[in-house]
Every structure is written in C-alpha cells, then in structure tokens.
Amino acid sequence: MQRENFGSRFGAIMAMAGSAIGLGNMWRFPYLVGEYGGAAFIFIYILFSFLLSLPILYCEFIIGRRSQKNAFGAFKELAPGTKWKWVGALSVIAPVIITSYYCVIGGWSVEYFFRSCTFSFTSNSDGMDLTNMFGSFISSTWAPLFGHTLFLLLTAVVVGKGIKGGIEKFGKVMMPVLFIVVILIAVRSMTLSGASEGISYLFKPDFSKIDGKVCAAALGQSFFSLSLGCGTMLTYASYVSRKENIASSGASTAVADLCFAMIAGCAIMPAVFAFGLSPQSGPGLVFETLPLIFSQMPAGGIVAILFFLALLIAAVTSSISMFEVGVAYCVEERGMSRKWACVTIFMITWVLGILCSLSFGPLSDVKLFGNTIFNFFDKLSANYLMTIGSLLVVLFVGWKMKKADVEDEFTNGGTFPANRRLFKVLWLIIRWIAPLAILVIFLSNLIGL
C-alpha cells in the first residue's frame, strides 16, 4: 500500500507549525517569561531557537524524509542491523508518555473553555473564588477525567482520518484561526490602561538578569516548544514530498512558532501588569491568574471565550502530532489498520492519563521518586527523554550518517544552491556545538532536580 504524504507545502507547514505551537507557547512560555526576567529571557530564547534548536529540527527533518518511515523504522532504514533502532524506540515511547499527561492539561483547557462559554469568570467577581477554582477542579475526580477523555478522543478522531483528510486538513483550517484569535486578544490586552508596563517587560531587556538558569530555561523551552527529541517532527517530515525545500520548511516552522509565542506573550503580560498582578505566577498563570483578569476586564467574558478557544486549539494541534508518532509505528511496524492503531494508542494514553489526572486528587499521595505521577511523567519527558532523544538524533546525523547523504537530503541533491552554502555552518553545529549544548541542558536539569 502506498504511503500517504502531505498534499501541499502549505498543509505540511501548517501541520508542523501546529506540532510546535501548543501549550508550550500559550501556557509554558508566558510563565517562564515571568519567572526569568521578561525580555532578557526572550532574547536568549530567540538566540537559541535559531542557532541551536533549528539545526536540531533539521536533523529530524533529514532523518524523517530520507527514510520515509515512522520514528522507529527510520533508524532501522538508515542504519540497518545496528542498535540505533533503539533510538527509534525511544522516539516512540517518549510521545506516548508526553501525550498521557499533556492530554490532562488539554482536558483542563476543555473545562475552562466550557466555563468561559457560560461566563463563569465574569459572573463571579469574587477573586478568592476564582483563585481557588482551579485547585478545586483539578483535585476532583470526575470532571478532569471527562475533559481528559474528550480531549484525547478529539485527537484520536483527527488522526484517524489520515494525513491529508485529518492532520493536514485540521491544520490548514485551525492554525490560521488560532493566529487570528490570539492576535485579537493581544490587541485587546495591549490597549488596556496600564498595559505599557507589560509591553516594556516583554521588549526592553535587562541583560543583568541573564545567568546560567535563564540560559538553561530558555534553551529548554526552545526544545520543548519545537517538539524536539520526541519523534513528532521526524514523523511529520517523513510525510513531506522529496521536492520540498526542508531548509525553508524548517525555518518557516521555527518562525511561526516564535511569532506565536511572542503574540501569546503580548496577549497575556500587558493584561497582567494592567491589573497590578505579578508576572511570576508560575504554571498557574493561565488557569488561575487570567480568569481573575477576565473578571475585571471590559468585555472580559468575550475575551475569555476567545482565549480558552485558542488554548484548546493550540493544545489539540500539538497532541495530534504526538499521537501520530505511535499510530505510525503501529501501522508500519505492527501491520495494524489506522483505525485500530488509533484505538490502541488511545487506550494506552487514556489509562496513563487517568493516573496523571488522579495524582492531583485521590492519588496525590502516590509518589514516584518523590514526585506525583503527573510530575514524574513531566520531568521524565522534559528533563530526560526529550534531551537524550535530541542528543542521539544529532549524534546520528552528525556522526553515523554519511556527510554526503546528509548534504544530499538538505540540498535536495544540489537543486537548492543556497542550502549548500548554509550546510557548511549547519554541519559544524550538528557535529560539535549542538551535542555540547544539549549536554549542558541535561546536566543543568539533572543538578536542578
């Protein structure tokens, strides 16, 4: 049976941008900006995104398109008879683990979207009730499980419809909608009285705040945001036509991801400052602080609906890409139909997700290496699986694959002369600089834990 590919360049870029643009941009990026000094963090984040993360993204593109296989099969195809196939196994396991707890957060976005549609935030002006709302919700049993199940089911349905009819079609429609909605929110946020301080916080860097922790956090966020080291971009690249310029596609993906992160920052931080709240609210910024802002903001009810709709769309586009990694493995390596592959991955991630969700309530006393189940999965994937996966990917491309094959793939057999000039710098980064940078992240996370 012929392997399905993306039907257009625009569709491929929207799908890959959708993989990169997710909760990492709308949930994680704003609170990291708040915790690590605003514009100084953003400056380092942009620097690392293009100097290090983009070359690593190209490595995944090269492996995926060169092999035209799923994450596991790619390494078997390019390095037959070697132990490199276990890197592929890691690239399948990681997104399954990430999806299991990611869909729990996605379930929260489902719940908060429903609540915004009933104007729950603006009808209740009691700040204390809004602050406690999130903690009360996630520590309950059934409501978070319902949201988790609904979110995961939506993900499975889109993936089940295939590459062109599901993933590409969803991305081509929802990604433009997502950008438009977040731009509207950013405009509203930046026109609030007192928003100028938040804008300055985002765009006027205080370089004295840059230290080792800021650099490690910025590089880690860049990896997390671009979905590096977990097989998603590798899998999507395997569906890209051999005629496409992967240098251009990769750069477009990185630019779209960065632009969206900045727009999301503009949608959140000016409002935080306008209402005199602390930008250092941590992970609770979106689900605890923003509802309080919406309750006090003119037309806050409408803005809340738009914001949580955008959060839900962003979360789904990323979960689709992670879900597809496991599905592609089941279809190509286990001979399953796409339907039963989706059912299989759904059941695995659903059960693991139940454990993650309940770790905020009934299973809060269950600890794995001193962490709740949710936190253990989060730290395992972000601090270990994704960084180790990224390291092994760049080592594979830089030291296992033949340089001529890497250059051939990056330049489309020499048909893109500009890529050939860029390749000299890229090869240096892949072989030497990127591995060292990833090791720095890994060690800083290890020491931090």
Report pLDDT for 1: 53
* Nearest CA-CA partner of 236 in 49, 355, 64: 64
> Alpha-carbon torsion 34, 35, 40, 44, what sign?
negative
pLDDT tier, 438 (very low <50, low <70, confident <90, very high otherwise): confident
User: Which residues does residue 368 pair with via DSSP β-bridges, in sequence order?
Assistant: 371
**In this structure, what DSSP letter does residue 209 have?**
G
Residue 123 has pLDDT above 80, yes or no: no
Buried b (16+ CB within 10 A) or exposed e, 156-166: bebbbbebeeb
Could you report how far apart the first and last alpha carbons of the chain are, in Å? 47
pTM above 0.85, yes or no: yes
Residue 99's identity, in one-letter code, is T
Residue 277's identity, in one-letter code, is L
Higher local confidence (pLDDT), 384 or 90: 90
Token pair belonging to 202: 């985002």
Angle at 208 between CA 203 and CA 212, to 5 degrees: 100
Residue 260 to residues 26, 332, 380, Cα–Cα distance (Å): 9, 33, 27
Residue 387 has pLDDT above 90, yes or no: no
**In this structure, what DSSP letter does residue 211 have?**
-
Report pLDDT for 30: 86
What CATH number does the domain located at 9-448 have?
A: 1.10.4160.10
- Checking 335-343 for CB contacts under 8 A at 24+ apart, the result is 338/159, 338/160, 338/162, 339/160, 342/156, 342/159, 342/160, 343/156
> What mean pLDDT comes out for the span 154-168?
96
Q: Count H helices, E strands: the chain?
A: 22, 0
Residue 333 has pLDDT above 80, yes or no: yes
> What mean pLDDT comes out for the span 148-163?
97
pLDDT tier, 283 (very low <50, low <70, confident <90, very high otherwise): low
Count the Cβ atoms, other than its own, within 10 Å of residue 80: 9
In contact, 244 and 12? CB cutoff 8 Å = yes
